[in-house]
Chains A and B, each alone.
Chain A
Amino acid sequence: MSKQAKRDAKSLFRNCQINGILDEKRVLQTVDEVLKRKPRGFGAILSHFQRLIKLDEAARTAKIESATALTPDLQNNYKEILTKRYGQGLYFIFQENPGLLGGVRVQVGSDVFDGTVRARLNELNESFKAA
């Protein structure tokens, strides 16, 4: 993929943000507009554009997994803490995962806070391997 295509995609992407938050309507309008005009290398531009959107979405998604379902109170608690840390515009997913055995695993973008029993057991397991 050419540098120019990446640069173009990046500037389209920036134009779709309002106050640092991606605006869905603008994203769709942008895609329609590019498809209508078909500028040189528009395929590459759109595919990189899509990638940026995907990464932005990942960065704005907070996934909270727990062995047992969290009460609404606890859920709100998490929303508050994470919004304080990562800012407005987060999209929250709460998931139940008995495989974690206990505790909570939070992922926002590529940041992970893993306090599950499963993670600690894995760590213990690795430390035995290393020794």
Chain B
Amino acid sequence: MSNLLQEIESKISGAQTSVAKQNVGIVREIGDGVAKIEGLTDAMLNEMLDFGNGVTGLALNLEETEVGAVILGDYTGIKEGQEVRTTGKLLSVPVGKGLLGRVVNTLGLPLDGKGPIKSDVSYPVEKIAPGIIKRKSVGQPLQTGIMAVDAMIPIGRGQRELIIGDRSTGKTTIGIDTIISQAVQNRAAEAAKDTSYRPVYSIYVAVGQKQSNIARVIAVLEEAGAMPYTIIVSASASDSATNQYLAPFAGCSMGEWFMDNGMDALIIYDDLSKHAVAYRQVSLVLKRPSGREAYPGDVFYLHSRLLERSARVNEKYGNGSLTALPIIETQMGDVSAYIPTNVISITDGQIYLETDLFYQGVRPAVSVGLSVSRVGSAAQIKAMKQVAGRIKLDLAQFRELAAFAQFGSDLDAATQAKIERGKRVVEIFKQPQFSPLLVEVQSVILWAAQNGYFDDVAVEKVKDFQKKLVDYLTNRKADLMGRLSKEKAFSDAIAGDFKSAIAEFKQTYK
């Protein structure tokens, strides 16, 4: 070699110190979308791995002699003996307001054909939940607009409330209604230039559902004008188990961004039963040991670390929140199966939907006795607190007495009256889908029921009476409604005015 060449050579090798270290491995085995890779001694859990040609994998099993990775996307081109490298990056998704109005997949890539996502920030999909020092107790309501829920199972911002029931009992509908309700309230506050109202942004994560179901949800949200405040993360039944397993975590990161930036967000996981099944499948191909119902032993941890990320953070950290409504689908009402028990124990309460009620026409089919919210009542506005406590009691008494009355025993007048009141309250709580009610409206209806204004209305006319009463109050007594929404309580003065207003309405009602 000439001197010149040698000199160049040594210059190049002198520059070696500036060459970044990479960590590589060799594919030893590939199948089912999972690669076993020898080497990669520096790989981190959940690190993205570069398989070349734009194919990415995710390191999920770190063992002494090899790394187990799932391939995100097309794995047919991957061959044994091929080189793989670490990227130093954890699996991340784009976050931010640019995602609102969009439908994306697990990686945050658009599925709606509306062009690239505008985002310059990304979050890893697995993040550590806010610690106890950052958290604050739940104190502000998240109005679902569903009267049975807001009155009897109230949800606070930052809470985790499970929606549980058999298939086709209205679980998804409750989630969608809640999203629509947020959009309605956000828009109302914008129109009124009410800067004290904290808007709620929603994320709907569809896991393992049929494409047609997801399309229906999107159509409903679009129709209701809720999309500008909503992100949809979709991993349908036809997506890989890996994508289904990761989708809730991706959605959660998008929600966390709002929380971290001092805003409020709501996330619906529809549903975690299918999520657990997807995780079982991923674990199976990674040959992880399995336990009860063939689920991997850490499926509890999977759901707890997901739901732990919902919180309300305190003022010092921006006062943001992430409320979670996970959905679980039971089989024949069995809440004692493995996954339901796990998720029940992680959440702050549950909205339990019953098939029997659904078919009796009680919709939403909320079981009052079996549903609880362990933290939400602290977040109810005063007007609602004033009426809701008694209503729940009335309803519970009614259930007992109604069962008793079936035996045909003679009932005294007081008992008879309680039963009649109860029948009307059941009617009042029936609510069609996609029509959320504002909390002032809900509390006035319940106040009227409690003060006997429904007692002389025939049971089958209750819904009609309710609707016309609400129309009358919102159109003709807008001032009074305005006072109630400002004061948020039934003061003596407001109660007196409602008494005369409702009496007036009853004169005209036929």
Give chain A's interface residues, CB within 8 Å of chain B.
10, 51-52, 55, 58-59, 66, 68-71, 74, 77-78, 102-104, 106-107, 109-115, 129-130
22 interchain pairs (CB within 8 A)?
Answer: A55-B38, A55-B65, A58-B39, A59-B41, A68-B5, A68-B9, A69-B1, A70-B9, A71-B1, A74-B10, A74-B13, A77-B13, A103-B13, A104-B12, A107-B24, A109-B39, A110-B42, A111-B41, A112-B85, A115-B15, A115-B18, A115-B19
Q: Does B21 count as interface, using CB distance less than 8 angstroms?
A: yes
Q: Does B76 count as interface, using CB distance less than 8 angstroms?
A: no
Asked if B22 and A111 sit within 8 Å, CB to CB, the answer is yes
A51-B65, A55-B38 known; A114+B9 contact, CB < 8 A: no
Most A CB within 10 A of own CB, among B5, B9, B38: B9
Q: How near does chain A come to B289, taking the closest CB pair, in angstroms?
A: 9
* Chain A binding surface SS class: mixed
Across the two chains, which residue of chain A brings its CB closest to B38? Answer: A55
Contact bitstring B1-34, A, C-beta under 8 A = 1, else 0: 1000110111011011011111111000000000
Query: How far, in angstroms, from A74 to B11 measured CA to CA in the complex?
Result: 11
Across the two chains, which residue of chain B brings its CB closest to A106? Answer: B16
Give chain B's interface residues, CB within 8 Å of chain A.
1, 5-6, 8-10, 12-13, 15-16, 18-25, 38-42, 54, 64-65, 85
Asked if A110 and B40 sit within 8 Å, CB to CB, the answer is yes
Query: How far, in angstroms, from A68 to B12 measured CA to CA in the complex?
Result: 12
Across the two chains, which residue of chain A brings its CB closest to B25? Answer: A110
Across the two chains, which residue of chain A brings its CB closest to B19? Answer: A115
Pick from A71, A114, A129, A130: contact of B22, CB under 8 Å: A114
Across the two chains, which residue of chain B brings its CB closest to A102? Answer: B12
Asked if A111 and B23 sit within 8 Å, CB to CB, the answer is yes
Across the two chains, which residue of chain A brings its CB closest to B6? Answer: A71
Instruction: Enumerate chain B residues within 8 angstroms of A111, measured Cβ to Cβ.
Output: 21-24, 41-42
Asked if A104 and B13 sit within 8 Å, CB to CB, the answer is yes
Asked if B19 and A109 sit within 8 Å, CB to CB, the answer is no
Q: How near does chain A come to B37, taking the closest CB pair, in angstroms?
A: 9
Query: How far, in angstroms, from A58 to B66 measured CA to CA in the complex?
Result: 13
Asked if B5 and A113 sit within 8 Å, CB to CB, the answer is no
Instruction: Enumerate chain B residues within 8 angstroms of A78, measured Cβ to Cβ.
Output: 13
12 further contact pairs, Cβ within 8 A, besides A51-B65, A107-B24:
A10-B64, A69-B1, A74-B13, A102-B8, A106-B16, A110-B24, A110-B25, A110-B41, A111-B22, A111-B42, A112-B21, A115-B16
Most A CB within 10 A of own CB, among B19, B38, B42, B54: B19
Query: How far, in angstroms, from A129 to B50 measured CA to CA in the complex?
Result: 14
Query: How far, in angstroms, from A10 to B39 measured CA to CA in the complex?
Result: 17
Asked if B24 and A112 sit within 8 Å, CB to CB, the answer is yes
Instruction: Enumerate chain B residues within 8 angstroms of A71, measured Cβ to Cβ.
Output: 1, 6
Query: How far, in angstroms, from A98 to B69 measured CA to CA in the complex?
Result: 33
Instruction: Enumerate chain B residues within 8 angstroms of A77, measured Cβ to Cβ.
Output: 13
Q: How near does chain A come to B39, taking the closest CB pair, in angstroms?
A: 3
Instruction: Enumerate chain A residues within 8 angstroms of B38, measured Cβ to Cβ.
Output: 55
Across the two chains, which residue of chain A brings its CB closest to B1? Answer: A68
Query: How far, in angstroms, from A66 to B1 measured CA to CA in the complex?
Result: 14
Most A CB within 10 A of own CB, among B5, B13, B85: B13
Query: How far, in angstroms, from A70 to B1 measured CA to CA in the complex?
Result: 10
Query: How far, in angstroms, from A107 to B12 measured CA to CA in the complex?
Result: 17
A51-B65, A74-B9, A74-B13 known; A109+B41 contact, CB < 8 A: yes
Query: How far, in angstroms, from A51 to B64 measured CA to CA in the complex?
Result: 11
Across the two chains, which residue of chain A brings its CB closest to B22? Answer: A112
Instruction: Enumerate chain A residues within 8 angstroms of B6, measured Cβ to Cβ.
Output: 71
Query: How far, in angstroms, from A10 to B16 measured CA to CA in the complex?
Result: 36
Instruction: Enumerate chain A residues within 8 angstroms of B21, measured Cβ to Cβ.
Output: 111-113
A74-B10, A104-B13 known; A113+B19 contact, CB < 8 A: yes
Asked if B22 and A103 sit within 8 Å, CB to CB, the answer is no
Across the two chains, which residue of chain A brings its CB closest to B14? Answer: A77
Instruction: Enumerate chain B residues within 8 angstroms of A58, measured Cβ to Cβ.
Output: 39
A-B pairs, 4 with minimum CB distance: A110-B39, A115-B19, A112-B22, A110-B41
Pick from A52, A66, A69, A114: contact of B19, CB under 8 Å: A114
Instruction: Enumerate chain A residues within 8 angstroms of B13, measured Cβ to Cβ.
Output: 66, 70, 74, 77-78, 103-104, 115
